Amino acid sequence: MEAVRKTLAVATKDWLDWHRQYDTPGSGLTGRLAEVRRHIVAVLDRAVPGPIRVVSICAGQGHDLLGVLPGHPRAGDVHARLVELDPRNAAFASEAAAAAGLDQVEVVVGDASVTSAYEGAVPAVLVLVCGVFGHATDDDIHRTVDLLPTLCAPGAIVVWTRGGFEPDIRPLIRSWFVAAGFEDLGFTTGPGGRGGEWGVGANRLAVPPAPYQPGVRLFTFLDDMP
């Protein structure tokens, strides 16, 4: 927890305040959130009988998954771990999960950029990488994509986001997913967000998963990208 406090002390952005944009109708975040939720619903609707493991990297307040599970017929099958560094946002997500009776949704205050945060929660059927690729270097994004198969179950779906700010490397990110063994399920954009446009991609793992490795750094989260 002390490491978390030190990290927050040097942060240049208040991520609790940032989440208030979700309450603004018509904002870029609301459009992006709706699209991410659409993918989550599709995964749950198509999941085979049995447990459905989900991990969320840099989960924030969990608006995506926690906005879908209440009332969904497969909610009781979902075993999820949401990893978030900011303890205030993690507390928000934890309280929302408890209020909805989602006892199998675990919210962890920790460093989502290291694979150890997911030990015991993977391989996952659904991996959410939302709000990450806009805050990492190109090399770190590429590295994360290459390592995602270590967190995935066979045929897992990865849902990710990236705004349209320059340089727009979203086509390159999509090619990295394909090179890492993922089928491209499409990419949707809409107005708002960084660069004036949000983007949501989805990919299905089309090759055998790679063995999970704890202690591997995926990326370094940067508050503000140039």
pLDDT digits (tens, 9 = 90+) for 130-171: 999 999 999 999 999 999 999 999 999 999 999 999 999 999
Q: In the predicted model, what is the mean pLDDT of residues 204-216?
A: 98
Task: Report which residue type is found at 114.
Answer: V
What pLDDT score does 84 carry?
A: 97
* Cα 86 from chain centroid (whole Å): 15
What pLDDT score does 25 carry?
A: 62
**Residue 196 above 90 pLDDT?**
no
Q: Rounded CA gap, 178 and 208, in Å?
A: 14
What pLDDT score does 10 carry?
A: 38
| 213 in any annotated domain | no
Q: In the predicted model, what is the mean pLDDT of residues 116-122?
A: 98
Q: Which residue has the higher pLDDT, 172 or 223?
A: 172
**Residue 226 above 50 pLDDT?**
no
Tokens of 221: 């989260």
| 219 in any annotated domain | no
Query: Exposure pattern of 150-177 as b/e (b: 16+ CB <10 Å)?
Result: bbbbeebbbbbbbbbeeeebbeebbebb
CATH code of the domain containing 145: 3.40.50.150
Question: How do beta strands 197-205 and 182-191 pair?
Answer: antiparallel
**Residue 205 above 60 pLDDT?**
yes
Structural domains of the chain, count: 1
**Residue 107 above 50 pLDDT?**
yes
| 220 in any annotated domain | no
**Residue 3 above 50 pLDDT?**
no
What pLDDT score does 223 carry?
A: 76
pLDDT in tens, 5-42: 333 333 456 544 444 555 566 666 899 999 999 999 99
| 101 in any annotated domain | yes
| 197 in any annotated domain | yes
Q: In the predicted model, what is the mean pLDDT of residues 181-196?
A: 90
Banded model confidence at residue 224, pLDDT cuts 50, 70, 90: low
Q: Rounded CA gap, 32 and 199, in Å?
A: 7
Q: Which domain holds residue 21?
A: 2-205
What pLDDT score does 192 carry?
A: 82
| 32 in any annotated domain | yes
| 224 in any annotated domain | no
pLDDT in tens, 46-100: 999 999 999 999 999 999 999 999 999 999 999 999 999 999 999 999 999 999 9
| 178 in any annotated domain | yes
What pLDDT score does 164 carry?
A: 92
